[in-house]
A and B are shown apart, each in its own frame.
Chain A
Amino acid sequence: GNSVTQMEGPVTLSEEAFLTINCTYTATGYPSLFWYVQYPGEGLQLLLKATKADDKGSNKGFEATYRKETTSFHLEKGSVQVSDSAVYFCALMNAGGTSYGKLTFGQGTILTVHP
């Protein structure tokens, strides 16, 4: 079956530091990959996505590249801000058919950014 493994948190950084949150996956076929973000007390928001190998998703300064050879989708940001403090979830979805919409999530990584 599908599975997603994220680096263990929590992650604590100073403002303007470089961020990497590792994500690796196991899946059949060619899944789509996602990063969702959950700010304190709020729901999940789609941060970025990639639907095929070597695609790069990007949004709000965050980037992640779909690496099929290493089954990875690591999240990066060059300079984090206090407002980036949140929980980040890596997820995958198999395309089409009865698998549509069934997201498999990692356990989430808590990020705290200090001024």
Chain B
Amino acid sequence: NAGVTQTPKFQVLKTGQSMTLQCAQDMNHEYMSWYRQDPGMGLRLIHYSVGAGITDQGEVPNGYNVSRSTTEDFPLRLLSAAPSQTSVYFCASGMTGSFGNTIYFGEGSWLTVV
């Protein structure tokens, strides 16, 4: 029972490089999302998805792309990394509809852009 799995846990990038943060869940959740955590600002929603093939922007989507080709996976792509994207990234998933409103989080990915 893995829950929400994120990789990598730590990454250092140079400005301008691209990379993908992976997220997978094994709970058959329809809803998946990405947040970033910055000091003193709590967590802010980047992108989310309510099912395979459906994605939408959250509060801070600029500089990030997502896709949802399967129910299980929801990768986050940084197209051209900038120092402002240094943050801790959390993937989350949950059931939709009347099955509950609990969102489960992965363990986080610490990203530093130099």
Contact = CB atoms under 8 A, between A and B. Distances in A.
Interface residues of B, number: 24
Interface in B88-111: 90, 92, 94, 96, 101-108
B33 interface: yes
B108 A102 contact: no
Interface in B61-114: 90, 92, 94, 96, 101-108
Given A44-B105, A46-B104, A93-B101, A100 B31 contact: yes
A75 B92 CA distance: 23
A101 B96 contact: yes
Given A100-B31, A101-B31, A101-B33, A43 B43 contact: no
A43 B107 contact: yes
Nearest to B106: A43
Given A89-B43, A107-B40, A100 B90 contact: no
Chain A interface size, as a band, is: 20 to 34
Given A43-B106, A51-B101, A103-B43, 7 more contacts: A32-B101, A42-B108, A46-B104, A93-B101, A95-B101, A101-B31, A101-B50
Interface of A: 4, 32, 34, 36, 42-46, 49, 51, 89, 91, 93, 95, 100-103, 105-108
Interface of B: 31, 33, 35, 40-45, 48, 50, 58, 90, 92, 94, 96, 101-108
